[in-house]
Structure 1
Amino acid sequence: MKKHAIIPIFIPHKGCPNDCVFCNQKKITAKQKPFEAEEIGKRIEAYLSTLKGRGLMIEVAFFGGSFTGIPMEEQREYLTVAKKYKDRGEIDKIHLSTRPDYINEEILNLLQEFTVDVIELGVQSFDPEVLRLSNRGHTKNVVYSSSDKILAYGFELGIQLMIGLPGDSYEKCMASVEETIKIGPSLARLYPTVILKDTKLFEQYQEGSYKPFSKEKMLRTTTDMYRKLQENNITILRVGLKSTDLISENGELISSTYHPAFRQLVQGEIAKEDLERQLLASLKGRYNKEKILKEKMENGASKPVVTFLCERTSFSNMIGNCRRNKNYFEKKYPQFSFRFKIDESLPAERYQLNIL
């Protein structure tokens, strides 16, 4: 399978008059002025100069705002540029994101005319209370109808969900995942809520009317959502905002609600849980902690060695962010010596162990 490369075109807040409580697009996208059509061509050329000839699946992706909310003629201008490169075979896909309530037949006909491939919907939640408290401006029924139309037109569908919005809970987040699975997108993004200054959410946080998820609850919830989507063959494009998506100078975000490597935290948690489940299943009383320590004191018997295995790209997840998994196992299971090794015969994000 080819690796993907994204050429991002940001259209900050353009096409979206709504003011969701969590949103300040000027802080989410580092480029504040929307691209003009001629700038798009220059940006694509700049990226292609380094991407061509590397065997990559290259996508031009319109992010940052609600693409289908901008005037139709402007959509045409942007898409004309992208389609030119697609027709020449220099890019493979055209990709955009928008709101669920900015989808209709006229828009889909236009996107089909310009051979758009992927449409992502910023759904955030399927819970009516969370949508209302977040000032989303649409109901969950709009999500269902827009998704049905997108799939019926033959586009690839992505669903974006947020975790920890006002009125949210673990149960509501998992219910949103279940609804996502029923719709049947091929792609998803998970965004733990980050409190940005100059937003309504920041004001609510200061007043005490909004309490963010704790770090532990956010990790637990996102991990379970990730695992559920993965089990249903939905590709998870992103977990959390990249540091480059934010302007963080001068304290523009509440740092306690943001982690720059949140996806690794989630994937590391999954690795830890999978390995611990295998470890406990393999023990079955053979390696009783007290028995091993007693034998060691009596006759100097060495500790059994547990070797954890994965392929190369999953190794950092197996170790865990800042070695948290390694530290976890060594502290919880002192009767063993742990080794972490690469086995290229294993598929990505699959973990095995051996005990000697």
Structure 2
Amino acid sequence: MRYTHPEPAPSTVRVWPVFLPFAGCPHRCLFCAQDKQTGRTATDLDAILHALESDLRDALDQGRGPYELAFYGGTFTALPTPYPETFLSLAARFREAGLVTRVRCSTRPDCVAPDTLSRLRALGLDLVELGIQSFDDLALEASGRGYSGEAAKKGCALVREAGLALGIQLLPGLPGDRPGLFREDIRLAADLEPETARLYPCLVVRGTPLARAWERGEYVPWTTERAVTELAEALRVLWARRVRVIRMGLAPEETLDESVLAGPHHPALGQSARGLALLSLVREKVRELGGKPVSLTVPRRYSGELYGHAGELKPAYFELGLPETAVRFADGPDFVLRRA
């Protein structure tokens, strides 16, 4: 049996992240810790702008690139005038020079007015990632997001109607979580057909209102085991709809790592989830095979995730009849499963 991985092909262009923590945000949500997440405690937009221009010029002079420029953190579409326009004008200059190929930003779903999106698209914005967090009214209210699930859906629709690519960020395990909520969020997100998705299980970070609720026993975060299981299920749903999942769990950052009090914070969270999703796919194919498998050929690009983190899934493959001696890695795009 020959088959391919259902995951959409990754982008071949490197992302140049520009962090604007808290900039433009109307208020701070219960869980938010962008200062810890980015390692920046303040946002001086002029300083960031000037540093970005200098760094882009150096990259151009050195023949590096191309890059996709990404404005993360804060609420880009709600930055004070004229910063959104100024950042995009800078990006356009280096786009003309061939260094920048695409521009994306992150923002809130209640900060995407049609005229704003139209103006920013005309200035060169290509993709908008919406920090949806959840489509559930109870979870949104308990987390202090300030909008409803319907507003979240409308924000996604407005991005698409403006001719922009859509990215969706979800934050499972929020206050107000209950069994099945994340699966429903994933279903709704998949139905909206975004280009990309990010899945960030909720963490308890020192200094946030959520940390105080956790200390009072009012909030219980997901375990790492639950996060891996739920993320793996979500991957299969999103891959089936051709959605690229570009991040699971927050990127390692010293200021964040030392500030996490509770929750599924693990450097290999994404690897474990991807490995478990791949295992479920192999199990499915073994059932379709209709006989005992004797060998599995795996594209080399998946060698780092087949067995999950630190070989945690090797026993599961052994139980399938695929011990390490029956698995080999090869160049090429196809998995090949053979039976006796």
**Common fold: TM-score over 0.5:** yes
**In the alignment, residue 252 of structure 1 is paired with which amino acid?**
S
Comparing both structures, which one devotes a greater share of its residues to helix?
Answer: 1
User: Residue deviations 1:110-131, cap 9 Å, x none?
Assistant: 2023110011100010011000
For the residues of structure 1 that align with 2:270 and 2:138, how far apart are their CA atoms? 27
Contact 1:127–1:176 (Cα < 8 Å) also in 2: yes
Q: Which residue of 2 aligns with 1:247?
A: 255
Q: Distance in 2 between matches of 1:270 and 1:48?
A: 39
Q: How many pairs align?
A: 328
Q: Which amino acid aligns with 1:344?
A: D
Displacement of 1:266: 1.1
Change in 2 beyond 3 A, CA 1:283/1:150? closer
The answer to whether 1:164 aligns with 2:151 is: no
Task: Indicate yes or no: 2:51 matched with 1:42.
Answer: no
Q: How does 1:265-280 map to 2 (within 5 A)?
A: 265-280=272-287
- CA distance in structure 1 between the aligned counterparts of 2:71 and 2:338, rounded to whole angstroms: 46
Deviation, 1:252, is: 0.7
Match of 1:208 among 217, 222, 226: 217
Flag the 1:233–1:170 CA change in 2: closer, same or farther, 3 A: farther
Aligned position for 1:134: 143
Report the Cα distance in structure 2 between the residues aligned to 1:230 and 1:335, rounded to whole angstroms.
Answer: 24
1:82 — aligned with what? 91
Residue 317 of structure 1 and its aligned partner are, at CA, apart by 1.2
Tell me the residue number matched to 2:3: none
Residue 100 (str. 1) matches residue 109 (str. 2):
yes
Judge conservation of contact 1:13–1:25 (CA < 8 Å) in 2: yes
Partner of 2:4: none
* 1:178-217 deviations in Å (ceiling 9; x for gaps): 2112222221111111221111111111111111122222
Aligned AA (1:20): C
8 Å contact kept, 2:222–2:263: no
1:166 Cα shift?
0.9
Give the match for residue 4 of structure 1: 13
1:323 aligns with 2:311: yes
1:355 Cα deviation after fit: 4.5
TM-score (structure 2 length as normaliser): 0.88
Query: Greater Rg, structure 1 or structure 2?
Result: 1
Residue 95 (structure 1) shift = 0.7
Give the 3-state SS of the residue equivalent to 2:100 in structure 1: coil
Q: Give the direction of change, closer, same or farther, for the CA distance of 1:46–1:232 in structure 2 (3 Å limit).
A: same
Percent identity over paired residues: 25
Per-residue displacement from partner, 1:278-326 (whole Å, max 9, x unpaired)?
Answer: 3455465x6xxxxxxxxxxxxxxxxxx8433211111111122101122
Aligned to 1:344: 331
What TM-score comes out, normalization by structure 1 length? 0.84
CA distance in 2, matches of 1:18, 1:184: 29
| Structure 2 SS opposite 1:148 | helix
Over 3 Å counting, the alpha-carbon distance change for 1:248 and 1:148 in structure 2 is closer
Counterpart contact for 1:170–1:221, Cα < 8 Å: no
Equivalences for residues 31-70 of structure 1 within 5 A: 31-34=40-43, 35-36=45-46, 37-48=49-60, 52=64, 58-70=67-79
What CA distance in whole angstroms lies between the structure 1 residues aligned with 2:203 and 2:112? Answer: 27
Letter in 2 for 1:353: L
State the one-letter code of the partner of 1:315.
Answer: S
Taking the aligned partners of 1:78 and 1:202, their CA distance within structure 2 comes to: 34
Counterparts in 2 of 1:128 and 1:247: CA distance versus 1, 3 Å: same
Helix, strand or coil at the partner of 1:203:
helix
Q: List per-residue Cα deviations over 1:55-96 (Å, max 9, x = no partner).
A: x5x211000111111112121222221111112222100110
Match of 1:188 in 2: 197
Change (3 A) 1:338 1:280: farther
Report the CA distance shift for 1:115/1:230 in structure 2 as closer, same or farther (over 3 A): same
Equivalent pair of 2:273/2:308 in contact (CA under 8 Å): no
Separation (CA, whole Å) in 2 of partners of 1:123 and 1:335: 40
Distance 1:213 1:161, change over 3 A: same
Specify the SS of the correspondent of 1:257.
coil
> What's 2:268 paired with?
261
1:108, 1:150 within 8 Å by CA — same for their partners in 2?
Answer: yes
For 1:333 and 1:235, how far apart are their aligned partners in 2? 28
User: Is residue 275–residue 308 contact of structure 1 (8 Å, CA) maintained in 2?
Assistant: no
1:134 aligned partner, one-letter code: S
| RMSD between superposed Cα atoms in Å | 2.4
Contact 2:221 2:263 in 1 (8 A): no
Q: Given that residues 35 and 41 in structure 2 are in contact (C-alpha distance below 8 angstroms), is that contact kept between their aligned partners in structure 1?
A: yes
